Structure 1
Amino acid sequence: MNYERLEADKKDILLIDDMAVNLRVLSAILAREGYNVRKALNWQMALTACQTVLPDLILLDIMMPEVDGYEVCQRLKASQLTADIPVIFISALDDVFDKVKAFSVGGVDYITKPFESEEVLVRVQNQLALRTAQLEILKLNAELEQRVQQRTSELEKALHKLQGEVTYRKHLQSKLLDIALHDSLTGLPNRILFIRRLEKALNSAKQEPNYHFAVLFLDCDRFKVINDSLGHLVGDELLRAIARRLQACLKPVDTLARLGGDEFAILLENLTDISIAIKLAESILQQLSLSFQLSRYEVFMNASIGISWGNKDYDRPEYLLRDADTAMYRAKAQGRARYYVFDPVMYQEAIQILELENDLRRAIERQEFLVYYQPIISLSTGRISGFEALVRWQHPIRGLVSPIEFIPVAEETGLINAINTWVLRSACQQLSIWQHYPVTPEPLTISVNLSARLFLQPDLLVQIDQIIEETKVNPAYLELEITESVIMENSNAVRIILQQLKQRKMKLVMDDFGTGYSSLSYLHSFPLNALKIDKSFVKRMQENQENMGLVPAMIGIADSMGMVVIAEGVETKEQLLQLRSLNCNFAQGYFFARPLEQQSVIKLLAASPQW
């Protein structure tokens, strides 16, 4: 096993929690502070993570299925490998009994949900400092006999530091025990009190077959925009106004809580049907659509609502809140200002996405990616003029994973940068090899897609220059494909980068033209060499005669600006003939060939096909 540190000066923190939302939030908080953060959904994943690289600190949730946090901590302390790793418990449980039990099984600290990012960072820093001090003390003790006089002063300093950290930790623990059950801004119940009432409702459902309840999870849309533009004082005033308006929609027996930020939760008890919860959600959405008359501003606000139907099958109250939260995110994904009722399939999808993210990180380390190549055909000669590099993931268990499945996750997590750079280097290396084969046509180009995220890297040009230098390819044969979103999101910075790429003789291609903003103004402002017509337009050429005008118009636009046109998704001979009649320059698609592995490309070039 490899138990070396990832980086000598970068602390490694392992998060163990079955709730993907908690993992995302904690990971974001800690990563921003420079920590290396890894995530595990259960005991098995945690054990594997520890065996791979020993973490400096573990943040552990108590309430998890199958093996709870107490048992996980006991197992960690029972193992010689992990016994000394400090464990901080993070839980919504706030009873003294739960905290005592957490410390009795080996925990060093206890953070009660909902947590504040500042508190989490302070506690993490304290425990890492404690761990460092403890290691210093061990070192001092090992050398004590030989260097007593020399190390006495250092030992006293380390002990003094340790005593200070312990005193500070006890002070924070004391403050945690005094946390109130109500939100100081709105006066509403906070997460702790809401969970307790939710637990009581769940117990009632287990004891009374006819008892039903529902949880509504509400997140304000556009609140951050208002908060950032008008200031936090206005944001706080708006939150109090939202709380009052929500309270007016409820009965006295209902529970409304502020969970933190702009998130609210509602517990509806003694329901006969979920339609009651749905009607309430519709009423809330209607009320929140009305303007808020604040002291200095008139503000408009919407919300997305997730609904979870409570029943006795739930083991923990937190799972109900988690499912309502998941449904809320689905409502946001569908356009916001609406509600969505939780379906159990949604939780499995969230888990699968998290597992996919973890697998992607390992895939980058293990270089599990492959590059396939799809030929690009010159319609004037009918012969191959180049190839587009397309990434594939050879998963060790699932086999080839479609880019449609893993690229969005890679984009969201930022892993796309490492993947994109690897594909660019691999494609250039392959082009350099192919150019030495006698069957390779001259010139042969290679096209590589560049992610929008890649343009946020300050050293993008340095990386590209390094790849060109390493592979010794002629940059004039390298075509870089970008989408409309790349230049629309940060146009000034991207324009400078594209101009510098153009100066290096590289070709710039606008991919999926017509599917995004469809604004012609940027075409005049950016140094593009070619437009790539999306396959959806090529497909509709034959399906509907009225849509035939789109492809000729795109070709005309490109021609008027001195650009060439590449048509994607050519699957039939009829499409090929139509594109030729429209004077389209290049085409690619299954009619010519599917994406090919390296050896198949050589065979295709040797065959010298002509269409």
Structure 2
Amino acid sequence: MNVQNNNLNLEHNNVQNILIVDDVADNLRLLSGILRKQGYEVRCARNGSSALNAVTAIIPNLILLDIQMPDLNGYEVCQKLKKKPKTRDIPIIFLSALDDVQNKVKGFEQGGVDYITKPFQVEEILIRVKNQLALQSAKAEIHQLNQILQRKIQNEKQRTNELEFINHKLQQEIIARQKVEQQLIHNSLHDSLTGLPNRSLLMKKLDIAIQKTNSNSNYLFALLFIDLDCFKKINDTLGHLIGDKLLVAVAKLLPEGLRNKDTVARLGGDEFVILLDDIESLQDTTIVVNRLLEKLKGTFQIDDFTVTIGASIGIAISSPNYQNSSQILQDADLAMYRAKENGKGHYEMFDRAMYIPNFKFLNSSRGDDRLESIMKSKQSQEMVKKEGKN
């Protein structure tokens, strides 16, 4: 079996061999450079046919396989490898810009062990490669130990207990490594201070909500952009430790009274966002917002300090005009700054009149810079739409 061959190779050479298959030269250079710095032996192939030849010459420990290629696509390459006994056990991680569920499911159905979406993060590539190689090494070790023990069992039945113990130990190691990988994935999608979903997870859920809006005219959701009033003053006077504890207290308060399908996220600093999913009407939103404003007007006991804050909230309601999560987040952000301009401690519902050029949030330089950035982004989006129509 191929697993056995890989294990024998590792006995003579501890360097793991990785084959990267991608028709884009820049991707090959980037990935090979990253992996070689980690001590891996890396080979590259520009198309499916070259990849099959490279595997025939030297069986790799792992293949990073692009899906969209000119001659044989990644799925076809995977099928050919899985049909041959010598190559069917090679772990294959698919790389693709295709992020829909159907393509991911197809990748796993073809025999892939993992699926990484482009553009990828270096840390994600390294941890997934490391875990797959570790799992393969563990499986190879189990296979080798089983062969040794099975020969001994023929003459010594008492060795059965030893075999069960070793197998159990190795299985525990595999489970432990899988738990580590799951924890790393969870950490990458949640805020380290508050434990709330972070920007990445929020944007993914927002994109799903926007897709529902475009496919179902009766579906409605609301996005609440919350910025704490006077937080900077508290942070500067009482210190960052008290400020962090205050953020944790706010993070525990915000989900109270919300539904399980709603999402509370922290963007960073004193900015929080709430996604109210599948609401019946705008009245549902204003009820929730008024309740949040009242809660945030209360006092917080942080260590020996009694802290009083407030919040300004911007609201953006779902619309077929939104094509991605960044657009509606910008509009909710802009509505929040209108709330601050009008005296803080209340909410504003976004409307397009807020894009009038002479509207400025003058209470802080931070507001001016943020607004200018939003305005430029919105102007760019409008230009793209016009060019598309032409």
- TM-score, reference length from structure 2: 0.46
Q: Which has the higher contact order (CA 8 A, sep 6+)?
A: 2
More helix by share: 2
- TM-score, reference length from structure 1: 0.30
